[in-house]
Amino acid sequence: MSRIIVGIAALAAVLSGFAETNKSCCGVLPSRFGLSAPKAPEGMVWIPGGEFTMGWDGEFSRPDELPLHKVRLDGFWIKRTPVTNAEFKEFVDATGHITTAEKKPDLAEIMKGMPPGSQPPPESALVPASMVFRPPGYPVDLNNPLVWWEWKEGADWKHPQGPGSSIENIMDHPVVHVSWYDAEAYARWKGMSLPTEAQFEYAARGGHEQWQNTWGNEPVTQGKPKINIWEGPFPNRNYKKDGYYATSPVTAFAPNDYGLYDMAGNVWEWTADWYHVDAYRMDARKGVVENPKGPLISYDPQEPHMPKKVTRGGSFLCNDAYCSGYRPAARMKTSPDTSLCHTGFRVVKNVVKPAR
């Protein structure tokens, strides 16, 4: 189920309206390693450490974005863009890595994430495959994501729409159809790691306290296109006002105030953290939380048997009237062995604290 169904279930849980609110902004606090950025690895941006308010409190805030709580982070480097197809190909060519989507699912592992007594998926579904968006072309019940998602045999990072498709002309687009395990393997190869959920939100905010969006409080539909999202009635018609139907080049839209691209829209991005519905409540009891690494275990009451990792940032399928997942505080959760056509990642490099 984890690779075949969980992507659908997780998406259904997040695809709903979110809040809009206005709150004053403020700067970031100095890093304990200083405001001056150390020499950055290529393609990475230094994020000065500081304290911020994590979460979002508005009319349509989701329960797992509350309560608001204070987090203090050390400075860190983060990749300027999501990892691209070209960069992931370099990793695969160097290591021979085979992605989760290119392997036949392990039935025993799938059954571990299903409620006791569940029927196993049919043998015909146990093939190398991934989740591909298939618009129905007509209005549908938005409570049934099965209508627009397909478990597509042969879909993987090299073939984003399945057999016959290619990344040849989209090498500067974010790699997709990568599981958490694939993303983590790439990060290890680079001597880096996936961002924690707190690091991602902090970086996405661009140094601004409680902005509604990465660019400020202006609605995504006002002004020129700001990010790559779904524009039109979801899921049947995309007007493509931003110029793209699916993924876009990673620098196609303006960066946030930290100089980071695609911290909202284009693709959801894996983080290091396990998802737990009460993670914020647990952190809020601690006062100011320093360098949080997320809960030790995962718990989603909608699928209590399925461990999940947090993804952040929203994607080209987010819609202002249906899914505002591009907000810095918006959270998504997906099993780590799931791969989808709108999920990628970026990496961070943490500073090692000097010995006392």
CA distance 301 to 278: 10
Number of domains, the chain? 1
Sign of CA dihedral 67, 68, 70, 72: positive
Q: Tens of pLDDT along 55-93?
A: 999 767 889 999 999 999 999 999 999 999 999 999 999
Report pLDDT for 36. Answer: 58
CB of 192 closer than 8 Å to CB of 217? no
pLDDT single digits (tens) 215-243: 999 989 899 999 999 999 999 999 999 99
Provide mean pLDDT across the span 93-110. 93
Question: Lowest-pLDDT range, 11-15, 40-44, 286-290?
Answer: 11-15
The pLDDT tens digits of the residues spanning 137-187 come to: 888 888 888 899 999 999 999 999 999 999 999 999 999 999 999 999 999
Q: Which residue in this structure is represented by tokens 């709150």?
A: 23
**Is residue 13 scored above 50 in pLDDT?**
no
Is the pTM higher than 0.85? yes
Quote the pLDDT of residue 241.
94
Query: Can you tell me the mean pLDDT for 95-115?
Result: 90
SS3 (DSSP) at 195: coil
Q: What is the pLDDT of residue 249?
A: 98
| Residue 169, domain CATH | 3.90.1580.10
Residues spanned by the domain of 53: 1-356
AA identity, residue 345: F
Average pLDDT, the chain: 88
CA distance 37 to 127: 47
Segment holding 350, helix H or strand E: strand 348-350
pLDDT tens across 258-310, in order?
999 999 999 999 999 999 999 999 999 999 999 999 999 999 999 999 999 99
Quickly state the pLDDT bin for 31 (edges 50, 70, 90): very low
Give kind and range of the element (H or E) at residue 244: none
Q: Express as a percent the part of the chain with pLDDT over 90.
A: 73
